[in-house]
Amino acid sequence: MKIAKFLAIATLMIAPMLGMRALSFAEPSPAMPQNWDSNIPLPPGAVLMTSSVPKSGMVYAADFSVKGDYKELVDFYEKELPKAGFAMGPKVAVPARKVYNRNFNKEGMMDSVVISPIAQDSSRFSVHFAWMPEAAKPASKAP
């Protein structure tokens, strides 16, 4: 039992240094990133891997793991972001590399989603978001 605990702790400490972004994909994460914009759609089965809060500025970031097909994920965001009230901004898609980046905004604040393969598990994709939470968005000025 002590060896198992030691190995688990060692893995948790070493994984970030090796650039491993996730250790388990088995169960959905019950937590969401701090100040998550609940208007941003997530595909079914998305699991929170990492998140960060800004040290300066107002942009938050989070990475989710999603099982699925590249084209289905791209189609999901092309359909669901406008449905959630976001205006679509610039897009870069490289299907041969299974990489997609789409900027989107609501009320003039630019957010983004990046889809890319997870090297350790070819059946899963990393879905990375950079967003500005509603509370951080500047209030509109009266004329």
Residue 143 lies in a domain: no
Residue 115 lies in a domain: yes
Q: Name the residue among 56, 51, 78 with its Cα closest to residue 136.
A: 56
The Cα–Cα gap between 47 and 12 comes to 18
Give me the domain span that covers residue 100.
Answer: 23-135
Residue 122 lies in a domain: yes
The Cα–Cα gap between 65 and 28 comes to 9
Res 137: pLDDT: 52
Residue 7 lies in a domain: no
Please state the pTM of the whole predicted model: 0.72
Q: Supply the CATH number for residue 68's domain.
A: 3.30.310
pLDDT in tens, the chain (143 residues): 443 333 333 333 333 333 333 333 334 445 789 889 999 999 999 999 999 998 888 899 999 999 999 999 999 999 999 999 999 999 999 999 999 999 999 987 889 999 999 999 989 999 999 999 875 555 554 44
Residue 112 lies in a domain: yes
Residue 10 lies in a domain: no
In total, how many domains does the chain have?
Answer: 1
Residue 15 lies in a domain: no
CA pseudo-torsion sign 48, 107, 137, 109: positive
Residue 6 lies in a domain: no
Q: Name the residue among 88, 110, 140, 91 with its Cα closest to residue 37.
A: 110
Res 27: pLDDT: 43
The Cα–Cα gap between 97 and 119 comes to 12
The Cα–Cα gap between 92 and 133 comes to 24
